[in-house]
Structure formats: C-alpha cells, structure tokens
Structure 1
Amino acid sequence: MGAKTGLLVYSDGEAPGLLRRVGSSEVARTVDVMRRLYPGGEFETCEGGELWDGLYPPKGMAYAASWPGVEIVGDQRVMIDFPSRLAEHLVTASAGRRLVLHAMHSVVDWLAFAVWDDGRLLRSLSLSPDSGIIENIGELLPFERPYWAGEHPVDVIPWPDEDEEPYPLPFHPLELGEAALRALCGFVLEGRPDPDDIDASAIVLHGFRVRDPSRS
C-alpha cells in the first residue's frame, strides 16, 4: 500500500451522498473557503489535480474544492498525531455541519481519522504499529467493528529461519484507513472499488500555494 492522505471534508450531512452529485467546482467559491480556513494566510491559485491524487499535496500547498453542501481540503498540515487537537478555527468552521479528518502515511503504516458533528467530537483514532494506539476517543463507528473484532488480521510472513513477532495491532492501519475513506467519504485510493464507490479521478480540486505570514 502506498496511499497518503491529509484530508478535511465539511458537509451538510453524510459526505458520500453529497460527493456523488457534485460537478465542477467554482474557483471563486473555493477561494472563499480558503480565506475562511486559512485566516491571515496568503495564497495564490495554481494548477490543481484530481481527488485521488490531491489528498497529499506537496508541503506549502493545498488542494481544495467547494460545492453546495460539501467542501474538501487536502493539506499535509492536518496530518496530526492527535486528531482531537485539530486547530480550533478549523473545527469551529464546521458549526451546524459534519467534519471528517482523514490522514494516513504508508511509509510508517500510520492512520488517523476523526469525526465531528456541529463542532462536537464523536470519534477520533490514531495508531501505527510502531507507536501503538496514540489516540482512541469515542465509540467505534460501524465500519471499524469487524477490524477490532479480529476479522481482518495481518498475515505476517517470517523470513527463513527467523521467528516473526506477531503484528502489534489486530489489523493493518492502512486497510482500516481505506474502509474509513469509503464509509466517511465514499471512495477508496487503493484496493478494489465497490460498484457504488465514487470515482475519485472524476472530481477535480483547485490548487493553492499557501504561506503563513508569521513564518516568513
């Protein structure tokens, strides 16, 4: 698995259903979102990309799109070990709406995700095989339960003449990460898509170079 994500999704309800109906995103509408989510930041538009390739932009960049009822932002800045500590203004921007954070990094098999409704944190999870469970807040979401119940164990193939330690988690974080993407956002990056999955290559995000003046 080679997927990496740093994703925020704001939606008026469940994001998958809303994203299935989106068309082209207006630049002006998306710029308004950027101004709200990056207060005091300086940014300029640049070439964007498709959703499947826009969830892990280069540092200093963000990919974003806005439609009626749903907004997406891809930015490495939201890849934090403790999702519950997401910047307050980003959570406040979800007042009256649902907010999903999804972050994973294939190099270290790390996954983090969180869900807020009207600014109230419902669920936050962050874990990796090296660090263990970093954060685990709230009740399990339905798509998680089979993983924690041991229905998706990791097959560890030992090297010849070596004893392999058991995998330190009951599932592979990136496998749960794909399940979280499907359940919370309606698409996957790797693995076999389901017939009703959103085609992430058909959704185009606008590109932005972002600079924080306080770090100039």
Structure 2
Amino acid sequence: MGAKTALLVFADRHPADLLRRAPALSPEATARLVVRTNPGWNGATAERRSLRHALYPPEGTVHAGSFPEVDVLCDQQVMVDRPSALPDHLLEAGAHRGRTILHAMHSVVDWFAYAVWEDGTLVRALSVSPGDGVIEDIGAPLDFEPPYWAGEHPVEPVPGWPGAGEPYPLRFHPLDLGEAALRALLGFVVEGLPLPTDIDAGSVELAGFRVPVTDPLTQEEIDEFRRTRALQRFTYGPDGTLVPVED
C-alpha cells in the first residue's frame, strides 16, 4: 500500500453529497480558508490539482477548496498523532460548518488516524499503528469500524516479508481501516476498486498554495531519532525472499 492522506474537511452535510457533482470552488473563500489555517501565507500559489492527487501535498504546499456547504484542506499540519489535539486554529477555520472530519494516514509506518467533530464537539477520535498500537481512542466507534475490531479483516502474512511468521500487532491493517473510513466519511477511496456509489475525487479541483513550513524538525530531534532507531536493510535471497543485510 502507498496510501497517504492529510485531509481536513468542514461540511454542513455529508461531503460526498456536496462534492459529487464536482462544484467549482470559490477563489475568495478558498483564500480565506488558507489564511485562517496558514496565517503566514504570503499570497504565493501553486498548481491546481484534483482532490484524488492532492491528498498528501509536500511540505510547504497546501491544496484547498471552498465550495457551497463544504471546505476541503489538504495540509500536512493536520497529521497529528492524537487527533483530539488538533491545533485550535485549524478547528476554528471550520467553526461555521456543522461537521469537521480529519483523515490522516501514512503508508510508510502503516499509521491511520481520524476524528469527527459535530458542532465543535469531538465525538470520535482514533489513532492506530502497528508500532505504537492504539495511540488514541475517544468516543464510540462509528458504523464502519466494528468488523475490523471483531477481526473480520485480519492481516494475512506475506511470505518472505520480515516478521511474516509473527502475528500482526493489530486485528486489522490500519490502512485498510483508513480506506473504509475514507469511503464512509468522504465517499471515495485511495486504493482498491471504486464502487458505483463513490464520488469521482479526480473531478474535484483544488487550488494550490505555497505556505511556510510549520514546526520543522530541529537537528537535535533528527539526531535523537537516528540514535534511538536502528536501521535495518534487506535484500533478496536466492529463493526470492527478503533477508537482512549484515553490516
């Protein structure tokens, strides 16, 4: 899986109902959304991209669109380990909408997090990864979750992959749950076969903006990461399976 998302949506109704006909964004309202969420923005713009291809913009770039009854922001600053701790200025940007949806996942570490606020009140927040387990679990699971917690979508081992003989730390793969959440909450998926009821995320156009990089890692943090994480490299053996490289 190569799915990554950094998505924050403010909506008065189900986002899929509002985006299904690919409405045209409002340039003025979209610029106001970017100012509220990135106060240091100096007016610089970037190329437009479709929602499908803007879900995880590079640092220093955001993609956004303000449409009738729904605002969409793709921005790496929404990727917080604990969704309940989403910075206030991001939540306040959608205070005029009835529902706020956060969806974030990163395939490199198999991490997924999402949260839903109704009229400013947090009703559900979840953050999971195989390395850290359940990082945050607030509120009752939404309707798409129970089959995953019940073990109906187990992770099948991949022959030759490191740890293939060990049970997966979770009862499901976080990115599988992330795809289910994306469809249930926003009406489309990143990977997998689309359903007839899914929206065409490729037809929803977002504007691009160059913004200051927020909260960059310090050299001390980078050094600490390298000190506490052992780098393990792998290569393919004669039989095609992965084997560790001994340095």
TM class by shorter-chain length?
Answer: over 0.9
Residue 19 of structure 1 is matched in structure 2 by: 19
Structure 2 unaligned blocks of 5 or more: 217-247
**Could you tell me how far apart the structure 2 residues matched to 1:163 and 1:198 are?**
36
RMSD (CA atoms): 2.0
**Could you tell me how far apart the structure 1 residues matched to 2:214 and 2:198 are?**
40
Shift of 1:212: 6.5
Shift of 1:181: 0.5
Residue 178 of structure 2 is matched in structure 1 by: 177
Residue 133 of structure 1 aligns to a residue whose secondary structure is strand
Aligned residues: 214
**Could you tell me how far apart the structure 1 residues matched to 2:91 and 2:30 are?**
18
State the one-letter code of the partner of 2:61: M
Higher gyration radius (CA):
2
**Could you tell me how far apart the structure 1 residues matched to 2:215 and 2:16 are?**
36
Residue 211 of structure 1 aligns to a residue whose secondary structure is coil
Alignment of 1:189-204 (within 5 A): 189-204=190-205
CA shift in 2, pair 1:85/1:214, >3 Å: closer
TM-score normalized with structure 1 length: 0.93
Shift of 1:18: 1.2
TM-score normalized with structure 2 length: 0.81
Shift of 1:82: 0.6
Residue 138 of structure 1 is matched in structure 2 by: 139
Shift of 1:213: 9.6
Shift of 1:158: 4.4
Shift of 1:81: 0.5
Residue 68 of structure 1 is matched in structure 2 by: 68
Residues 81-113 of structure 1: CA distance to partner in whole angstroms, max 9, x if unpaired? Answer: 011000112222333520000000011110010
Contact 2:60-2:213 at 8 Å conserved across structures: no
Contact 1:25-1:67 at 8 Å conserved across structures: yes
Residue 106 of structure 1 is matched in structure 2 by: 107
Residue 85 of structure 2 is matched in structure 1 by: 85
State the one-letter code of the partner of 1:210: V
Contact 1:11-1:69 at 8 Å conserved across structures: yes
Residues 10-41 of structure 1: CA distance to partner in whole angstroms, max 9, x if unpaired? Answer: 00122121111342213222112112222354
Shift of 1:192: 0.7
Residue 198 of structure 1 aligns to a residue whose secondary structure is coil
